[in-house]
Structure 1
Amino acid sequence: MLELGAGSGLFVAAFASATLLPGGSELWLAALVQQQPEQLWYWWSLATLGNTLGSLTTFALGVWLAGRWGAERFDKRGQQRALAWLRRYGPWSLLLAWLPLVGDGLCLLAGWLRCGWPLACVLIALGKGTRYLVVAGIMSLI
């Protein structure tokens, strides 16, 4: 039987971990898949949706910041690395939005650079979904 609380917790953790907040969504997903392996696709979809929406929130923040901040304001090492990747590879860099530390910067700066949001949404979801599929797949084998 599905528990609404478990699914809500996974969604919130996934959303939060895609922003600058810590979320621990991989641990939530791993625990839920281990407890209810028959619900693997349900848990995977909740984690992927929550994490993608969290990254799109960060993307939207970047769009909002675009008119208020110049490139010199992005002075942290991770921000500079993300900016260099985006300038070199364009929105395709968003396939790496799942990476710790750099991923949040990629989403923020992609919005700041006004990358097209439909393509950004698809690329972010692909990267996030793949990461969660690996986590869920490993847990289903244990």
Structure 2
Amino acid sequence: MQEDFLGLAGLFFSAFISSTIAPGGSEAVLALMVSEHQDQVVLLVGIATIGNTLGALTTWFLGYLAAKKYPIESLLETKKQKAIMWVRKWGQWSLLFSWLPVIGDGFCFAGGWLKLSLYSSIVFIFVGKLVRYAAISWMFAGN
């Protein structure tokens, strides 16, 4: 019982950290756990998705706080503002791709910086991450 809790907590922590500025490998953790616990796929995907979404929202809030003190132009060269430009162009929809390595964190940060709706941001980030984790689980569940 305690071993199960520690495994689920480890998955949550891995997913959370993987979705902040720090690197992580929550996909590998989820794949291993799904292959060992095929009867708990929904629970595992849910925990990973919630952890990863909360990590992305941490990055979103960092962007929101940074925007209060620093205008975009004062911090980044024009060619380094790609995530900002992408989010300006596509708005909330860009947050569906918050799961992408490296640039996904930039989308979340830009979403906060540009003060996109928090509620819409939560939905789009959650959906994008859910689809990614569901796909990973499907590949490793031994269909």
TM-score band, normalised by shorter chain: over 0.9
1:125 and 2:126 equivalent?
yes
What is aligned with 2:12?
11
Gaps of 5+ in 2: none
Secondary structure at 2:81's aligned position in 1? Answer: helix
Gaps of 5+ in 1: none
Tell me how far apart the structure 1 counterparts of residues 101 and 17 of structure 2 sit (CA, whole Å): 13
Secondary structure at 2:134's aligned position in 1? Answer: helix
Q: Deviations over 1:52-105 (max 9, x none)?
A: 00000110111111111111213385x522111111111111011011111001
Tell me how far apart the structure 2 counterparts of residues 83 and 28 of structure 1 sit (CA, whole Å): 31
- After superposition, residues 90-129 of structure 1 pair within 5 angstroms as 90-129=91-130
Tell me how far apart the structure 1 counterparts of residues 100 and 78 of structure 2 sit (CA, whole Å): 16
Tell me how far apart the structure 2 counterparts of residues 75 and 129 of structure 1 sit (CA, whole Å): 33
Two-structure CA RMSD over aligned residues (Å): 1.5
Q: Give the conservation status (yes or no) of the 8 Å contact 2:16–2:51.
A: yes
Give the fraction of aligned pairs with identical amino acids, expressed as a percent: 40
What is aligned with 2:77?
75
Alignment size in residue pairs: 141
Q: Give the conservation status (yes or no) of the 8 Å contact 2:11–2:26.
A: yes
Tell me how far apart the structure 2 counterparts of residues 139 and 76 of structure 1 sit (CA, whole Å): 41
TM-score (norm 2): 0.93
Q: Give the conservation status (yes or no) of the 8 Å contact 2:11–2:29.
A: yes
